[in-house]
């Protein structure tokens, strides 16, 4: 097992959500740690048996997870690209993130 003697990011101020010193590119082309944060859905069923008899309830649970998450996402979509960029720029540390690097 590999051991480490020091932290890769030593100063807490340098810890940025969605940014890693060595980003990882997935087989599908997503870059994890490259500055974008990808949402993740929790597809966890409540405690229940999963068998032929419970499949209608399993499908209903998954449908509820997906439609609920989709509805919440639609409710918070900004009215325009400019509004979205304005909201996001207010939340970034502009000494670490340079908008021009992303054509913003």
Q: What is the pLDDT of residues 52-82, one digit of tens each?
A: 999 999 999 999 999 998 898 888 788 888 8
Distances (CA, A) of 72 to 39, 53, 66, 86: 12, 31, 10, 21
Q: What is the pLDDT of residues 14-50, one digit of tens each?
A: 888 899 999 999 999 999 999 988 888 888 999 999 9
| Cα separation, 81 vs 87, whole angstroms | 10
Task: Spell out the alpha helix ranges (H) of the chain.
Answer: 55-75, 81-89
| Cα separation, 65 vs 96, whole angstroms | 35
């Amino acid at each position: 097992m590999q051991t480490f003697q020091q932290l890769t990011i030593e100063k807490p101020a340098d810890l940025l959500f969605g940014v890693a010193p060595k980003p990882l590119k997935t087989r599908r082309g997503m870059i994890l740690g490259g500055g974008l944060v990808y949402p993740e859905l929790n597809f966890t069923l409540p405690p229940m048996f999963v068998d032929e008899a419970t499949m209608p309830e399993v499908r209903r649970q998954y449908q509820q997870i997906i439609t609920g998450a989709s509805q919440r996402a639609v409710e918070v979509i900004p009215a325009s690209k400019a509004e979205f960029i304005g909201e996001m720029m207010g939340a970034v540390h502009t000494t670490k993130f340079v908008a021009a690097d992303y054509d913003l």
